[in-house]
Amino acid sequence: MTKRGAGIAFVAISALLISVKYISAAIFGSGVSSWDKELFDAMLSYVGNTLNIFSLLSLLVGVSYIAWGEYEELKRKKETNM
């Protein structure tokens, strides 16, 4: 797998983790008869910040892998043109 492919995979994992946070909160409150914004915010607080932290870390790793792969590609093209 190339660095760009690994970067895309990490970005996809980041998106998955963010969606898991909201899905978890929705499952947690599935037995509630009526919904409102404050109730859903409370359910999100029960889920915690761990998924946010891992999602942000995964996004940063993914973007850095993509940038690293692009840098190496530019460097390789520059060397072959000399």
Which two three-digit tokens encode residue 32? Answer: 């509630």
51: amino acid identity, one letter: L
Q: What is the pLDDT of residue 33?
A: 81
* Low-confidence spans in the chain with pLDDT less than 70: none
* DSSP at 28: H
Q: What is the pLDDT of residue 48?
A: 87
Q: What is the pLDDT of residue 28?
A: 85
